[in-house]
């Protein structure tokens, strides 16, 4: 985290402060996988490449614009891989990268938490 600062309170207790600037790990992580629909998209790519419109149909709550944006940023973050499968007719697939798959562990955990608590 940030640089720890240890001071001494007047009562003799040690006061440990770890100021969380330039966001701390959890926050940085959230900025990568916590975007709107990011987690869900990754989840849907977990075991096979999926084409854009298929993805769009599966995530029926998200607009194409949204999905397009997220996919682009996920590609930049190396979470997913975009592949041109064929021109004429145009066919593109997206799949989770190896790195992207490492994030699934935690998404699993999240999903479990949601289900266990009926959220």
Enumerate binding residues for a second copy (CB under 8 A). Answer: 2, 17-30, 32-34, 36-37, 39-40, 43-44, 57-62, 99, 102-103, 105-107, 109-117, 119
SS (H, E, C) 1-62: CCCCEEEECCCCCEEEECCCCCCCHHHHHHHHHCCCCHHHHHHHCCCCCEEHHHHHHHCCCC
Q: Which residue has the tokens 């009562």?
A: 11
Q: Give least dist CB 41 to DNA, A.
A: 12
Q: Could you say which of DNA, a second copy, none residue 103 binds, taking C-beta under 5 to 8 angstroms by partner kind?
A: a second copy
Q: Give least dist CB 19 to a second copy, A.
A: 5
**32 or 52: whose CB is closer to DNA?**
52
Give the whole-angstrom CA distance, residue 102 versus residue 6: 35
Give the whole-angstrom CA distance, residue 99 versus residue 11: 48
**24 or 112: whose CB is closer to DNA?**
24
Instruction: Give the residues lining the site for DNA (CB under 7 A).
Output: 36, 51-54, 62-66, 68-69, 71-72, 82, 89-94
């Amino acid at each position: 985290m940030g640089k720890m600062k240890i001071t001494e309170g007047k009562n003799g207790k040690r006061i440990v402060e770890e100021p969380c600037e330039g966001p701390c790990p959890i926050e940085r992580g959230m900025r990568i996988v916590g975007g709107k629909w990011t987690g869900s998209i990754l989840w849907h790519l977990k075991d096979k490449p999926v084409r854009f419109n298929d993805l769009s149909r599966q995530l029926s709550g998200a607009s194409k614009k949204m999905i397009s944006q997220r996919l682009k940023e996920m590609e930049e973050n190396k979470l997913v891989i975009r592949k041109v499968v064929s021109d004429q007719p145009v066919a593109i697939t997206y799949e989770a990268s190896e790195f992207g798959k490492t994030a699934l562990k935690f998404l699993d955990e999240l999903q479990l938490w949601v289900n266990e608590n009926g959220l």
